[in-house]
A and B are shown apart, each in its own frame.
Chain A
């Protein structure tokens, strides 16, 4: 399956014309549909609720156009790249195209942290663990200063598009030393795009670290890939590896390339707590399989990550190391947290969203495993891809990470999954017939609705509405320094501005009297105490915590009935209340 590409006759003019027609027609239909879409109707199924059939038909046409026009040339054609760009923008840029403000509270929080550092503020290590891995924030601060902008909110809207485009480029390059044809490498890219529901590609340290992960791995395999094992050895006979052909380079450039890899890994170690371990795991497996020559790089990354944790991130673990490390290896607890608890108590709509995610992940993993088995039987096991597929899974045993570890594992397996599935869709040992490519295009198009449901099914509480934005602006305008703002859940924009001056606390109580008591008893509370209730919090409560419809208005009425709160700002369903001293 990884044999050299078989030259194929160039596609006929009719196919070329059809490809352009599908690209232009599909993109135009989808764009026109999006222009007429109103996100006010987003409810239980997120953006899926508001998208018209014309959008799905348009994106499907672009996907079919991409696969129909797949051809083996030395370089990807303009039409192929156009189809891919349209797919990435129409799928991962969807919220950016539709919503009034950049989405997702954590992305706003990262902008707030960066703004705090850019403004000369120090690290607030006790405020948030993320400050202990401050490489991303320090880099963002440098960018903000260099760009001389007020903040980096302008980067948020289409960060996902950029991260997915970079990932596609890395996947395309990664396939080259593995002997995959241009057509196979091209086919892998839309597979990654339509399967990537993980939502880890927003403006964040993990998205940056994932990009570095892919770049470092691609460079290592491309320049240091090799057969270190003796082909006659027992391990080689057992694994039946396919060829890995590194790009020939002379000694000096190779040293520079290696140092660039170490630099990339160092940036990753400083920026994110998990990704270096994913990289170390992948590099270790690659070196044990004998497909790369740089066998010490895995140890450098692992030692660097542990040393950073021990020496530079002590605020994260000092005083409660036992609680953090307590879950290591407890398979039952970790599985429950990662899978079972995520669906616990969820309504039918949320279960459908979670089901679409699990469905896509299982199809991807089973398809990739099947391809590996097939290749093994043909004595051409793509060991590099096998390693990249398997390497993320041990991370599940380390920490539940708030139940998100399995999502991250899926995300990190996706590049290998995409290349493996592409090897089945477009076999290189024979010319791929037109009908096969048409079927692949239609399958890809059929996955698009499932992708939208899985990726943007939580949009009711992950988007930032006009109401929420106005209340937040009013809050930062009016609350004085040292204020403490209580929130009923964390699904809103926190720490977007004045990170050092305005702090947030999550309330545990749900009833008005209990909330008042909790705020009064909070030892950290200052005299300036507020309660922030937003539309996104309301949507989260309804969708995940099974609260009744319009529960925020009811709660506000109860809070005001206690005589302890006055309204500071109200915009639609979003409120800012101030606690009046006794």
Chain B
């Protein structure tokens, strides 16, 4: 039995989907890094926050494009 069967059942036809998944992984890693710094009461760099925001915006655009493509 596959551990994550739903993921393997999904279609990744477009380059934007691959980019979207890569952005997702990077963004989650960056957000976790920010949280762990915050939990250790270390200062948060503005550049890291800006990078997270920009990545999130690009990811939103990729996801919106996917919804648009497959919605109808």
Query: Which residues of A does B touch, CB under 8 Å?
Result: 117-118, 120, 122-123, 125, 131-135, 138, 141-142, 145, 224, 251, 254-255, 258-259, 262, 270, 293-297, 299-300, 303-304, 306-307, 310-315, 317-319, 321-322
Let me know if B10 and A311 touch, CB within 8 A: yes
By beta carbon, the residue of chain B nearest A144 is: B1
Q: Which residues of the partner chain A approach B66 to less than 8 Å between Cβ atoms? A: 310-311, 314
Among A123, A131, A142, A296, which residue has its beta carbon within 8 angstroms of that of B32? A296
Among A118, A125, A259, A270, which residue has its beta carbon within 8 angstroms of that of B1? A118
Q: List 10 extra interface pairs beyond A142-B1, A311-B21, CB under 8 A.
A: A117-B1, A258-B35, A293-B39, A295-B34, A300-B35, A303-B24, A310-B63, A312-B9, A314-B11, A319-B70
From known contacts A145-B1, A312-B10, A315-B9, infer whether A295 and B35 are also in contact, taking CB-CB under 8 Å.
yes
Q: Which residues of the partner chain A approach B38 to less than 8 Å between Cβ atoms? A: 293-296
From known contacts A123-B5, A307-B24, infer whether A321 and B39 are also in contact, taking CB-CB under 8 Å.
no
Let me know if A251 and B40 touch, CB within 8 A: yes
| Cβ distance A103 to chain B, nearest Cβ, rounded Å | 28
Q: Which 5 A-B pairs have the closest CB atoms?
A: A321-B71, A296-B31, A318-B70, A294-B35, A296-B35
Q: Which residues of the partner chain B approach A310 to less than 8 Å between Cβ atoms? A: 20, 63, 66-67
Q: Which residues of the partner chain A approach B6 to less than 8 Å between Cβ atoms? A: 123, 131-135, 270, 312-313
From known contacts A122-B5, A138-B5, infer whether A258 and B39 are also in contact, taking CB-CB under 8 Å.
yes
How many A-B pairs with Cβ below 8 Å?
112
Q: Looking at chain B, what size class is its interface with the partner chain?
A: 35 or more
Could you jot down 19 A-B contacts, CB within 8 Å? A132-B6, A134-B6, A138-B1, A251-B40, A293-B38, A293-B41, A296-B52, A300-B28, A307-B20, A307-B21, A307-B59, A311-B12, A312-B6, A314-B11, A317-B70, A317-B71, A318-B71, A321-B71, A322-B71
Give Cα A312–Cα B5 distance, bound, in whole angstroms.
9
| Cβ distance A290 to chain B, nearest Cβ, rounded Å | 12
| Cβ distance B61 to chain A, nearest Cβ, rounded Å | 12
Give Cα A294–Cα B41 distance, bound, in whole angstroms.
10
Q: Which residues of the partner chain A approach B21 to less than 8 Å between Cβ atoms? A: 307, 311
Let me know if B9 and A141 touch, CB within 8 A: no
By beta carbon, the residue of chain A nearest B60 is: A306
From known contacts A293-B38, A311-B10, A319-B72, infer whether A300 and B1 are also in contact, taking CB-CB under 8 Å.
no
Give Cα A577–Cα B35 distance, bound, in whole angstroms.
60
Main secondary structure of the interface of A (DSSP, over half): helix
Let me know if A296 and B34 touch, CB within 8 A: yes
| Cβ distance B29 to chain A, nearest Cβ, rounded Å | 10
Let me know if B72 and A311 touch, CB within 8 A: no
Give Cα A94–Cα B4 distance, bound, in whole angstroms.
36
| Cβ distance B23 to chain A, nearest Cβ, rounded Å | 9
Give Cα A470–Cα B70 distance, bound, in whole angstroms.
44
Give Cα A294–Cα B40 distance, bound, in whole angstroms.
10
Let me know if A314 and B10 touch, CB within 8 A: yes
Let me know if B40 and A125 touch, CB within 8 A: no
Among B9, B31, B70, B72, which residue has its beta carbon within 8 angstroms of that of A300? B31
| Cβ distance A369 to chain B, nearest Cβ, rounded Å | 31
B7 CB-CB contact with A under 8 Å? yes
Let me know if B56 and A299 touch, CB within 8 A: yes
Let me know if A224 and B39 touch, CB within 8 A: yes
Give Cα A190–Cα B25 distance, bound, in whole angstroms.
42
| Cβ distance A180 to chain B, nearest Cβ, rounded Å | 23
| Cβ distance B67 to chain A, nearest Cβ, rounded Å | 6
Among B11, B39, B40, the one with the most A-chain Cβ atoms within 10 Å of its Cβ is: B39
Q: Which residues of the partner chain A approach B28 to less than 8 Å between Cβ atoms? A: 300, 303-304
Among B27, B35, B71, the one with the most A-chain Cβ atoms within 10 Å of its Cβ is: B35
Give Cα A255–Cα B12 distance, bound, in whole angstroms.
33
Let me know if A312 and B24 touch, CB within 8 A: no
Give Cα A314–Cα B14 distance, bound, in whole angstroms.
14
Let me know if A322 and B72 touch, CB within 8 A: yes
B47 CB-CB contact with A under 8 Å? no
Give Cα A122–Cα B2 distance, bound, in whole angstroms.
9
By beta carbon, the residue of chain A nearest B53 is: A299
Q: Which residues of the partner chain A approach B56 to less than 8 Å between Cβ atoms? A: 299, 303
B36 CB-CB contact with A under 8 Å? yes
Let me know if B32 and A262 touch, CB within 8 A: yes
Give Cα A134–Cα B1 distance, bound, in whole angstroms.
12
B3 CB-CB contact with A under 8 Å? yes
| Cβ distance B51 to chain A, nearest Cβ, rounded Å | 12
Let me know if B17 and A297 touch, CB within 8 A: no
Give Cα A321–Cα B66 distance, bound, in whole angstroms.
11
Among A135, A258, A310, the one with the most B-chain Cβ atoms within 10 Å of its Cβ is: A310
Among A125, A132, A317, A318, the one with the most B-chain Cβ atoms within 10 Å of its Cβ is: A318
By beta carbon, the residue of chain B nearest A132 is: B6
Q: Which residues of the partner chain B approach A138 to less than 8 Å between Cβ atoms? A: 1-5
Give Cα A311–Cα B67 distance, bound, in whole angstroms.
9
Among A296, A299, A306, A322, which residue has its beta carbon within 8 angstroms of that of B63? A306
| Cβ distance A432 to chain B, nearest Cβ, rounded Å | 36
